[in-house]
Amino acid sequence: MKKHLHYLALAMLTVSSPFALAEDTLAKIKASASLTEGVRESSGLSYTLGNGQYTGFHYDVCANIIADVKAHLGLAELKVNYQPVTSQNRIPLVQNGTVDLECGSTTNNIARQKDVAFALTTYVEEVKIAVKADSGITSIKDLAGKNIATTTGTTSVQTLRKHERAAGIDFKEVFGKDHADSFLLLESGRADAFVMDGSILAANIAKSKTPAGFKILSEVLAVEPIAIMLRKEDPAFKKVVDDSIKAQIKDGRLAKLWDKWFLQPIPPANVTIGLPLSEATKEAWANPNDKPTEDYAAKK
């Protein structure tokens, strides 16, 4: 009987340990004097420069958060461990305690909120349409009979089809294997437009041979709040993170980071993305919140 109870206790400890971590991330960080940050290898908001170096808009936002966590805990030193994550494993790695703060480019939605928590929104992505500057295309209604490029595995064209202004418009989809390939379809004339996240469109245009030869239409097809991800049911840690974001908004650090990453030359190629601060992101900063995508869709 004692042996049985011993194994039962071990089993319960094994099962409950991730939840124990999730309940008090601050205590975990303080005890180890370390924090594990989830980073992306090639995202618009977090990417690698090689040799274990990471950078990006969200990377810098998280650097400020980590400094505030260190001050809150009164630590003389706080080691930051970097854990590369992908779209497939980022949520499980946050859930099981491997990653304390996921600083990539994750959309906050209702389905994900069942598994993880999100900090206050720091970036609101807008799905838009890029065309050649001399194409004569000025709005969705001009896409009738055109070839529309999108990237395999994304839902951007479906988003376009669902848009009320696209009702009754017939167009043909052409697919690129990745974002660069999709942009090449537009650049080479095999597509008349490229539908994708605004930041991705802007980045590809900035890196093209003739940036002035393209434009992004003003119409917004969809908006998605992007936020830093953390474990559920840990209000103390979320408060420290959220308070740091509020402070960065209030003292202008977040605006300076936007200028640094979207309006100035960035590494490694020193290309300027040229993406002004969107109205949706301005609104998210003016009224800090952790609302999911579905709340944004409801406003349309």
Q: Round to whole Å and give the CA distance between 207 and 278.
A: 21
Q: Which domain holds residue 135?
A: 125-223
Structure confidence at residue 18 (pLDDT): 44
Give residue 299's pLDDT band: very low, low, confident or very high (50, 70, 90): low
pLDDT at residue 144 is higher than 90? yes
Q: Tell me the mean pLDDT in the region 182-203.
A: 92
Contact criterion met (CB below 8 Å) for 182 and 150: yes
Could you tell me how many residues make up the chain? 300
**DSSP structure class, residue 153:** T
The verdict on 214 and 77 lying in the same domain is no
What average pLDDT does the chain have? Answer: 88
Q: Which amino acid is at 113?
A: Q
Contact criterion met (CB below 8 Å) for 13 and 22: no
The Cβ-side half-sphere exposure at 293, using a 13 Å CA radius, reads 15
The verdict on 130 and 241 lying in the same domain is no
Query: Which of 181, 197, 223 finishes a domain?
Result: 223
Confidence (pTM): 0.77
Give residue 153's pLDDT band: very low, low, confident or very high (50, 70, 90): low
Give residue 160's pLDDT band: very low, low, confident or very high (50, 70, 90): confident
Contact criterion met (CB below 8 Å) for 229 and 117: yes
The verdict on 203 and 144 lying in the same domain is yes
What does the pLDDT look like over 2-49, one tens digit per residue? 444 443 443 444 344 444 444 699 999 999 999 999 998 877 788 889
The verdict on 259 and 112 lying in the same domain is yes
Domain count, the chain: 2
Structure confidence at residue 252 (pLDDT): 98
**DSSP structure class, residue 261:** I
The H or E element spanning position 135 is none
What does the pLDDT look like over 213-259, one tens digit per residue? 999 999 988 888 999 999 999 999 999 999 999 999 999 999 999 99
The verdict on 99 and 131 lying in the same domain is no
- We report the CATH number of the domain holding residue 219 as 3.40.190.10
Query: Which of 177, 197, 223 finishes a domain?
Result: 223
Structure confidence at residue 16 (pLDDT): 40
Contact criterion met (CB below 8 Å) for 51 and 268: no
